[in-house]
Structures are given as structure tokens and as C-alpha cells.
Amino acid sequence: MHAIHALWRIASPPTTLLVLASVLALLEAGSALLIPWLGGRFAGSVLGGDAAGFRQILLWLLVVLLLQQALSFAGNYLLGSAGASTTARLRQRLYDHLQSLPLHHHQQGNPGDKLSLISRDAGILGDFFIGTLPPLIPQLITLFGAWGMMAYLDLELALYIGAAVPLLVLGLRLALRRIRPLAQRLSDSHAAHLATVEENLRLLPLLKAFGRETVESERIGRHNAAIVGHERHHLRNLAAIGPAIQAIGALLMVSVLWLSADHLLSGRLDSAAAVSLLLYGLLLFRPAGQLASAAGSLQSTLGAAQRIIGILQTTGEDLATGSTTPPPTPGNIDFRDLTFAYPGRPPLFRGFDLSIKAGETIAITGPNGSGKTTLINLLMRFNEPDGGHIELDGVDIATLNLTTLRGLIGLVPQQVNLIDGSVRDNIRYGLDDASEQAIIEAMEQAQARDFIKTLPDGLDTRIGADGVRLSGGQRQRIALARALLRRCPILVFDEATAMFDLPAEEDFVAMAHQALKDTTVILITHRKGSLALADRVVTLAQTPADPQGSHSPNTLDDRQPADRSLTKGQKPTQNQTSSQPRRNM
């Protein structure tokens, strides 16, 4: 129950609506308790031949029944409104937290689990908080109220029914022990299904290219069959609880009728009390069955609550802490004694040093897996180093506010990510107030203006999810324009021209000589055209002789053969880098 209490505080259901709905539910419970009493009085009047009396009682009975339905409508509407608000707030809280988690957490986890948290588990919690939990109080009032009225009418019969309660509780506990693991398996099967669907839709071109439609359809079919199987097993156990309680209640009621008949014949009960007793008995076991079903729902809710609490307890990035004042010359970058390893793998860097001057263009090359993109991830604090630190103009980036730090760096990633919007929306992403002139200039610098002119609606053309309606080169140009628009003091191009043809790359290089003359540029590339931009080239190469697999920066003059690389462990100095002046940029 601790998890439920914690999530109640996180979801923060609307108190005013809940209080009002609870008051209405209490009034509804009170009106329900009046009906058996009026029913008994009605039966007594009819049997006693009191025509005027039973008509009056019948009128009151009609008023109470109509009032009960009106209270039920108002209460259900308020609870429904509160439920929608609560579920939306919980989903927003989950999304915000998932968004704050470091990238490596998402790279290691199953995306289906996260989708299931927001789409299914949050719904389960919302339904429980609003649809199951608030009605418990009026149900308890109805339960104990009905038993109390039975005790008032005939204490012996009420004690007889009360003696059966411990047996009902014991049976309920045994049944609930089966439900929770079933609910967990059901949730796991939903998560696996969502993960497979998300992956297949994302890799649809690959799926179609390799003719995997039938195979993947069968795989989704197996997931669906597993969900249906778990759902049926779970529902069978859950649905049996309420009817089982009702069946036991029916047996008890038959016993009550048997005993009440004896009491009626002996004169201990009159006819009105006997009818009221019967109606209170019927009323007694309706909330008993509902409470039993609520206890079954609690098991599913506890599983969802634990999964949500588990993800919310995972530490996210702190965007608020740190200095919001950028360094005076943030283009000066220093990697100092850097050490980093991915979990469960040998160190990728150990004692790594590299200095980049403001306004310098440096190319970083090396084989796959040598750590080129990892360096950028460390610079942007997508990952944190295990040792050493990175400085911007002498300021340790760990002391900077994350939003401030990342606002200094324009990134064109190797894998282009675009939103499902217009070309304009994608170029000004993160800079919504960009002027039309600035957008056009960024388009021109990225060699994107010509192809954008040919689109049906130009800048306002919608490009689909992740730019699916564009070619690879067009997507890369838009990503490049997006980075150039921000006018950051540091630009990182991770294979940014990989999909450019040779003339387009030459045009981009010619543009960059002038447009990026005051910008620190880090190029991750193997293309000769892009290397022409670099003042110097740093090659990362895994050293076979090093059993730990660490890397040393090998600084090469981009105009000299590769055999001028540094020896293992040697750090670059001024006379080992290219001393040629920067080209007119």
C-alpha cells in the first residue's frame, strides 16, 4: 500500500471534485439503506390492509429511488472528470520523467516497457484511484449499515451472518494470491507486444525490403495470442471473486430466510420486519461482492504502481542545477585526463587529453568503435566521464547548467532525427522565434534551398514522421540547416555530409570557409571533401598492445601521410599539430 500512497501524492487527484463526489456517494448510500426499510413498511401496510398508508409509503419509495439515481449520475460524472484529470496528470508526470532520463537509460531499456507505463499502467492507476478507491467508503457504509439494521431487527440473525465474515475473508486472501502474478505476466506481454509493434513500424522499409511481412505478422499474432491467454486467465480469476462472494451470500440468505420464517411464525418478527430483513440481506451482499472485486483490482494496481514507482525513482538529468552564465569564449575545448567505459566493457578512454582552440576546425577520424561519437556525447553530457573532466574556456562543463551547455553546441548527428511537421518546423526546432530571413540563410548554407523550392508547399510542406517523405540527403540538409540556424559557438558535424553527392559537398565546404570562420567546428568524418575544412585531423585508434583497449589521440597533419601519428600514450603538443595558418574562413 506504500506504493499506492506514494502514487496518490504524485498523481494529485483533484481534491474538490473527489470530496464533492464522496458526499454524493454517501448520500446515495444513505438512500440505499432507506429502501429496504420503506419496502418493509410497504409490505406491512399491504398485509395490514392500510390502503392510505401503503400509497404514501410507495410515494416516498419512488422519491428515494429517483433521488438515488440522480445522486448516482452526479457522482459518476464527477468521478469520471476527476479520473480523466488524474490519469492525464500521471501520464504527464511519467512522460516528463522519462524525458529527463539520460540517453543511456533509454538505449539500454525496452521502449515497449516505457510505452506500456504511459498507456496501460497509468490507466490502471487512474481507474483504481477514481473508479475503485473513492466508492469504497459508501460501499463500506452500505455494508455495515445494512448489517446494523439487520441487527436492529433481529440480532440473532445478524450475528449468524457476521460469523461467516472470517470465512469469506480467508477465501478472498487465498484467491488474491493468484491474481498478482497473473497481472504481472499480462503487463509483461503487453510491453513485449508494444515493443515489437514500435520496432516494426520504425523499421518498415527494412521489413519490406527483406520480405518479412508474413514473418512479422506471425510474430505479432503470437504476441496477441499470449496477451489474450493471459487476459483470459487473469479475468477468469478476477471475475470469479465477486460471484463467489455473491454465491456464498445467497446460501446465507437462504439460511436467513429459513430462520426468519421460524421467528415470524413464533411472533418474534412481524411481517414488515421480515420483509425489511430480507431486503437488507440482499443489500448486504452487493457491496460485499464489490469490495471483493476491488480487492482483486488492487493486486493489478499494486503491480502497475511498483513499475511506475521503479521508473520514477530512477534519477533523471538535473536541468536546473549549475551556472547559467556561459564561459566568455566557449569555443575553447579541453579534454583533460579523460577516462570512460561503457558498463561491462573495457575502458574506451583512459588519460585522454585533447585541446581545441576557439575558431579552430578539427576533424576526428578513426575506425568504427574507436570513440568518435562518444567524445561528442561526453562533451554534451549525454554520458558522464568516469574520470577527468572537460572544460570550455577553463570552465568545467560539470558545473554548467545542462540547458546552458547544450545551447552552446549545435549538433548534426549521424542518425538524422526529424519531427512530423513542416520543413519550417524542423529547421527552427528549438528556436521557434527564428525570423524568416534567418531560416532562408540557414537553408542556403546547408545547400537545402533548391530542393525545398521544388516541394509542393515549400517550407510549409509536411515531411512525415522522421522525414519519411524526403530522401536521405534531403533529411541531412534539413538537419544541417537546423544546426546552422542556432548560430552556436561550437558546431559538431557527425558525418553530416555522408549523404551529400560530391558537388553538394564541395559547395558546402566552400560556404563553410566563410560562414564558420568564427565557430569552433568538430568534424567526425572520413570524407576527403569534408576533411578539407579541417585545420588538423585527430585519429582515434585502438591500440592492440593495450589490454584495456584504451585510446590515445593521434594527431595528424591533414596534408601529411598517416605515418606521422603519435606513438602510444604521447600527447599532442603545438609542434606536433599542423602549424599552417587557418585558411581564409
Establish if 244 belongs to a structural domain.
Answer: yes
Q: How far apart are CA 576 and CA 570, in angstroms?
A: 10
pLDDT tens string 236-292: 776 776 677 667 767 776 777 777 777 777 777 777 777 787 777 777 766 766 676
Please determine, for residue 310, whether its predicted confidence score (pLDDT) is greater than 60.
Answer: yes
If asked whether residues 26 and 93 sit together in one domain, one would say yes
Task: Give the domain-ending residue among 312, 342, 374.
Answer: 312
Band the pLDDT of 427: cuts 50, 70, 90: very high
β-strand partners of 521: 361, 491
Give the pLDDT confidence of 86-145 residue by residue, as tens digits.
Answer: 888 888 888 888 888 887 777 776 666 777 788 778 887 777 777 777 777 777 788 788
pLDDT at 561 (0 to 100): 33
Between vectors from CA 193 to CA 191 and to CA 199, what angle results, nearest 5°?
A: 100
Residue 525's nearest CA partner among 377, 415, 359, 363 is: 363
pLDDT at position 461:
92
Question: Is residue 325 domain-resident?
Answer: no
Based on the domain organization, do 260 and 387 belong to the same domain?
no
Are residues 367 and 251 part of one domain? no
State the pLDDT at residue 3: 60
pLDDT tens per residue, range 380-423: 998 899 999 999 998 999 999 998 998 899 888 878 888 888 99
Place of cell 529547421: 427
Output the pLDDT for position 577. 33
Beta strands in 215-346 (DSSP E): 333-340
Residues 449 and 344 placed together within one structural domain of the fold:
no
User: Do 350 and 242 fall within a single domain?
Assistant: no
Running DSSP on this structure, what letter comes out for residue 359?
T
Is the backbone of residue 271 left (phi > 0), alpha (psi -120 to 50) or beta? Answer: alpha
Q: Is 12 contained in some domain? A: yes
DSSP string, 498-534: TT--HHHHHHHHHHHHHHTTTSEEEEE---HHHHTT-
Q: Provide the 10 A C-beta neighbour count for residue 139.
A: 19
HSE-up of residue 316 (Cα within 13 Å, Cβ side): 16
Residue pointed to by grid coordinates 542556432: 486
Tell me: do 296 and 192 sit in the same domain.
yes
pLDDT (0 to 100) of residue 159: 80
Phi, psi angle pair for 339, to nearest 5°: -130, 135
Burial class (CB in 10 A: 0-12, 13-18, 19+), 41: buried
Final residue of a structural domain among 279, 312, 345: 312
Q: How many of the other CB atoms lie within 10 Å of CB of 368?
A: 6
pLDDT computed for residue 338 by the predictor: 92
What does pLDDT average to over the chain? Answer: 77
One domain for residues 149 and 218: yes
Residues 464 and 497 in one domain: no
Quote the pLDDT of residue 305.
Answer: 79
> Regarding predicted confidence, which is higher, 512 or 88?
88
Write the CATH number for 551.
3.40.50.300
Residue 544 pLDDT level (bands cut at 50, 70, 90): very low
Give the tens place of pLDDT for each residue, 162-181: 776 666 666 666 666 666 67
Look at residue 337 in the predicted model and tell me its pLDDT. Answer: 92
For residue 297, give the CATH number of its domain.
Answer: 1.20.1560.10
Cα torsion through 481, 482, 487, 489, rounded to 10: -100
* Residue 192 pLDDT: 78
CA angle 379, 384, 385 (to 5 degrees): 90
Q: With respect to residue 573, please indicate whether it lies within any of the assigned structural domains.
A: no
**By three-state DSSP, how is residue 395 classified?**
strand
Quickly state the pLDDT bin for 565 (edges 50, 70, 90).
very low
- Alpha carbon separation from 491 to 30, 35, 520 (Å, rounded): 70, 76, 6
The span from the CA of 98 to the CA of 117, in Å, is: 10
How large is the average pLDDT for residues 214-238? 82
Between CA 205 and CA 452 the distance in angstroms is: 24
Q: Maximum CA pair distance of the chain?
A: 119
At residue 419, what is the residue type? I
Is residue 550's pLDDT more than 70? Answer: no
Residue 386, pLDDT score: 92
Predicted TM-score of the model (pTM): 0.68
* pLDDT higher than threshold 70 for residue 218: yes
The answer to whether 160 and 256 are in contact (CB under 8 A) is yes
Placement of cell 430462520 in the chain? 259
Q: Is the pLDDT of residue 484 over 80?
A: yes
What total of structural domains would you count in the chain?
Answer: 3
Q: What's the pLDDT at 580?
A: 35
Q: Are residues 28 and 159 in the same domain?
A: yes
- Residue 439 maps to a domain: yes
Please check whether residues 95 and 170 belong to one and the same domain. yes
Residue 170 inside a domain? The answer is: yes
Q: Of 287 and 7, which is predicted with more confidence?
A: 287
Q: Are residues 394 and 463 in the same domain?
A: no
Per-residue HEC secondary structure of 183-210 comes to: HHHHHHHHHHHHHHHHHHHHCHHHHHHC
* 511 within domain boundaries: yes
Rounded CA separation 352/335 (Å): 7
| Of the listed ranges 5-9, 223-227, 466-470, the one predicted with least confidence | 5-9
Quick check: 442 pLDDT over 80? yes
Does a structural domain hold residue 106?
A: yes
pLDDT band at 154 (very low <50, low <70, confident <90, very high): confident
**Exposed/middle/buried for residue 187 (C-beta within 10 Å: 0-12, 13-18, 19+):** buried
Q: Determine which of 219-223, 365-369, 420-424, 527-531 has the lowest per-residue pLDDT on average.
A: 527-531
Asked whether residue 106 falls in the same domain as residue 41, the answer is yes
Full residue range of the structural domain in which residue 359 is found: 331-408+488-566
Boundary residue ending a domain (442, 463, 486): 486
